[in-house]
C-alpha cells in the first residue's frame, strides 16, 4: 500500500475508533445545543472533550512524519471544534 493510502487508512481508523467510544456519544449530546462553527475563527478544544483520543492523534502525526508523507498542514475538526493541527515547513 502506498504511503498516502496508509496514512488515510490510519486517519479513518483513528476517527472511527474515536466515534465508537462511550464518551463520544455523551460528548455529542452535550454539543447539540452549541453552535461552534461557522464563526469568524475556529474554537478549539481538547480531543477528549469531543470523544477522541489525543494519544492516537499524536501517533498519527508521528506516522506522517516517519513515513515522510508530504503534507503541508493537517487540521482535525470534530463537532465544529478544532481538536488538532500540525504544519510542516516543506519546500514547494
pTM of the model: 0.56
What does each of the 92 residues of the chain score in pLDDT, given as a tens digit?
577 666 665 665 665 555 544 445 555 555 545 566 666 788 899 999 999 999 999 998 888 888 888 888 889 999 989 999 888 776 66
In this structure, are residues 51 and 42 in contact, taking their beta carbons and an 8 Å threshold?
no
Distance of CA 66 to the CA centre of its chain: 18
* DSSP 3-state percent helix, strand, coil across the chain (nearest 5): 45, 15, 40
Amino acid at each position: 500500500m502506498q504511503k498516502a493510502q496508509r496514512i488515510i487508512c490510519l486517519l479513518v481508523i483513528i476517527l472511527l475508533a474515536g466515534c465508537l467510544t462511550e464518551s463520544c456519544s455523551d460528548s455529542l449530546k452535550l454539543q447539540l445545543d452549541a453552535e461552534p462553527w461557522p464563526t469568524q475563527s475556529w474554537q478549539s478544544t481538547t480531543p477528549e472533550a469531543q470523544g477522541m483520543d489525543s494519544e492516537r492523534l499524536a501517533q498519527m502525526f508521528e506516522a506522517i512524519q516517519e513515513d515522510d508523507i508530504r503534507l503541508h498542514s493537517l487540521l482535525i475538526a470534530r463537532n465544529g471544534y478544532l481538536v488538532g493541527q500540525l504544519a510542516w515547513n516543506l519546500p514547494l
